[in-house]
Amino acid sequence: MPVPKLTPEQVSEALSSLPGWTVVEGKLHRQYQFPDFVHAFGFMSTASMVIEKMNHHPEWFNVWNRVTVDLTTHDSQGITVKDVELAKALDTIAGKLK
């Protein structure tokens, strides 16, 4: 059973606790920038274990020192609490690696 999609008001409220995140094309969106490729790849590697444990996989893209992340819950066809939780987890991991 899919997780309920957040209302636009709930998404706005969630964004207030997610600095750096926006909504782009119906997805939570953020670009992280690291000192170099090793730190960017380290972020992705560390995050992959949390992501797998949550069983909620992002759309992400890496170019040298940048990692671009888009979060949506495909089964729910929109942003859900699962996306907000993963965004917070990614912010925590990124904060430790910068």
What pLDDT, on the 0 to 100 scale, is given for residue 96? 87
Residue 29: how many CB atoms within 10 A of its CB? 18
The mean per-residue pLDDT over the stretch 35-45 comes to 97
Predicted pLDDT at 98: 67
Fold of 8-15+23-97: Gyrase A; domain 2 (3.30.1360)
What is each CA distance from 31 to 7, 8, 16, 21, in whole angstroms? 24, 22, 17, 8
**Domain residue spans of the chain:** 8-15+23-97
Of the candidates 95, 78, 96, which has an alpha carbon nearest to the alpha carbon of residue 2? 78
pLDDT of residue 60 exceeding 80, the answer is yes
